[in-house]
Structure 1
C-alpha cells in the first residue's frame, strides 16, 4: 500500500510540475537565496521566467533576488514592469520600493508608494515604507502621518509603532512614546529593537514625572484619550518625591491603571486591559521589571528573578503562551 501511495504522490508531483512551468526551478532558486548564492539564484530564476513569463511569483522572486544581489538597476527594471500588471500585489510595490530606497531614489519611491496606496488603501506595510522614505527625504512631518495611518489600519504591525516611537522621542511627545513604545515591546518582545524601545519608554515615563512637563504636554493639543491619561498622571506626580524609577514603577503604574478604569470606561484599550490583568494576577511587578529594569540593569533584574522565582516563572510562561493583539478600532490618537 505504501508503494502505491508513493507512486501516486510522485505522479501527482510530476503532473503539478508539468502543469506549472518554472516552479521546480523557482524552488531551487529559493533554496539558493537562503544560502546566499544570489548569482545562481538570479540565473535560475531568469530561466524559470522564460518558461513561465506570466507567472508573477517567479518575476517577483527574480526582482527580489536582483535586489539581494545588489543589482538594483535590474531589480527596478523588473519591478516597474510588474507594478503595471493588474495582478500586482503589495509585495511587488514593496520590492521595487526597497530598490529605490537602496539607491536613495526617495522621490521615485514616494511616488510609487502613493500609487500603491490608491490600490491598497489599508496596507500598513506600504504606510510604513512610505513613512520611512519620507523621513529619509527630510519630510518627517509627513512621515509620521503615514505611520499613524498604518497604526490605525493595522494595529498589530510593529514597524509603524517603532518608527512613530522614534519620531515622538525626537519631538518630545512623551505620552505617545510611552504608549506606542509599550505596545511595540508587547508585539515584538524578543528582538534587538525591543531593548532600545524599552529604554525609550522608561525615558518617556521619567520625563513625564519632571516638574511642569505634563502641563506642557497638555498644551500640545493631545487627543481626548491622551488628555485623560495625562490628567490622571498629573495627580500622581506630586505624590512621588524621587521621580519615576524602574524599581518603584509598579506602585506608580498600578495607581495609574486603577484610576484610569475608574473614570475612562468609554475608551476600551487592550494595553490597559493587559496591565489590569497583570495587577489582578499578581504579575504586574514581573512585567514592570521586564519592561523597565531589564534594559538598564540586567544584574538587578536577575537578582529580582532569583528572589521572586514564582512570579518570574509565571510571567515567562505568560509571554510564551499568550499572544498580544491590539484590535482594530482602538485608535484614539486623532486630535
Structure 2
C-alpha cells in the first residue's frame, strides 16, 4: 500500500519535472535566437548576458556556451573566448566547430602551436571534419608552407567532399601558380557547392581571368597557345610512361579552342570559352576517350549537361562574373533555355561524397 501511495505521488511529480525541463529548453532556445540577432546587430555584451540566462535554463547543451565564446571572440577578448571554447569541448554534444573556434581563438591570441593542437584534437574526435583541415591549412599558409597547406585542404576534400571552403582555398592558392589547371577545377567544384554567395561571384570572376590568362592568340598567324600547367614529364621506370592529366587536358583543350575561334574574333569572352568547353566534351569522351584513363567527376558532369543540352547555359552561369554584360545579353536572349537549366541545376546538383570526388593527387 505504501509503495502504491508513493507511486501515485511520484508520477505527477516526474511528469511536472519533464514538462518544466521541456519548457526551460524551449525558452533557452528562444533566448539564444534573440541573442544571436542582437550579436549580429553589433551588441555582443548584451548577447552574452542573455546567453548566460539561456545556459542556466539548459546547462547540458553546449551551444549556449559556444555562442558566448563567439561573442567574446567578436569582442577580441580571445583569452576569455579560449576558456569558454575549452569548456564546450567537454560536452557530450560537442561539434567540430567548437574545436575550430578554440583553435581560431588561440591563433588570434598569438598561440599558434596551441591552435594546431586544438585542430588536431578536433580531428581525433571528428576525423571527417573538413573545416578543421581547412583551418590547419590556413596556418600553413601563414607560415608560407604552401605544399603542406595544399595537402591539408586536399585531405579535407577527401574526408568531406561537400565542404566548400577547402576548394575555395585551393582555388586561390593555385591561381597564383603556373598550374592554373587546378585552380580552374577546384574553383568550378567550389561554385557547384556554394552557389549564391559573395565568394561564388569572386570565383566566377577569377575563373574567367584564369582562362583568359591561359589562352594566347598569335598576332601573325592562326596559332593558339594554351598554358594551363607546368608541362614537365617525369618518367618512372616502375610505372612506365604515362602522360599526366595536367598535360593531357590542356592538349585536348587546345584542340577544342581552335574551331571555337573560327566563329568569333580573336577575343576571349564567355562565348568562346563556352564553345571550347562544349567541343572539349566531344573530344575528351568520344574522340580521344581520355575518360577511360583519367576518370573525372566534373568532366562526367559536363557530359551529362551536354547530353541534356544545358552545357552552354551552365558555362554562362559559371563565368557570368567575368563579363556580366555578355552574360545578361545571352541570358535575355535564351531565357527559356536558361530557366530550364536553373530549375534542373537546383534539383540535380553535382554529386559529391566519399565515393565521388576530385583531387589532383588522384592521378599520381
Q: Tell me the TM-score range normalised by the shorter chain.
A: 0.7 to 0.9
Partner of 2:193: 187
Alpha-carbon distance in structure 2 between the residues aligned to 1:235 and 1:38 = 57
C-alpha spacing 1:255/1:310, structure 2 compared with 1 (3 Å): same
Alpha-carbon distance in structure 2 between the residues aligned to 1:158 and 1:183 = 8
Give the secondary structure class of the aligned counterpart of 1:121: coil
Partner of 2:343: 317
1:269 pairs, out of 296, 300, 316, with 296
* 1:13-53 Cα shifts (integer Å, max 9, x gaps): 98344368666335313312223242233123334545665
Query: CA contact under 8 A between 1:207 and 1:213: conserved in structure 2?
Result: no
Partner of 2:63: 57
- Normalized per residue, the structure richer in helix is 1
Partner of 2:253: 233
Matched, 1:157 2:163: yes
Alpha-carbon distance in structure 2 between the residues aligned to 1:48 and 1:270 = 46
Query: CA contact under 8 A between 2:48 and 2:71: conserved in structure 1?
Result: yes
Partner of 1:133: 139
Structure 1 spans left out of the alignment, 5+ residues = 1-10
C-alpha spacing 1:50/1:301, structure 2 compared with 1 (3 Å): closer
Partner of 1:200: 206
More off after superposition, 216-225 vs 191-200: 216-225
Matched, 1:258 2:278: no
Alpha-carbon distance in structure 1 between the residues aligned to 2:36 and 2:91 = 25
Alpha-carbon distance in structure 2 between the residues aligned to 1:216 and 1:300 = 28
Q: Shift of the alpha carbon at 1:224?
A: 4.2
Structure 2 spans left out of the alignment, 5+ residues = 1-13, 217-223, 235-241
Normalised to the residue count of structure 1, the TM-score between the two structures is: 0.82
Q: How many residues align?
A: 324
Give the secondary structure class of the aligned counterpart of 2:322: coil
Matched, 1:217 2:230: yes
CA RMSD of aligned residues (A): 3.2
Query: CA contact under 8 A between 1:106 and 1:134: conserved in structure 2?
Result: no
Which has the higher Rg, Structure 1 or Structure 2? Answer: 2
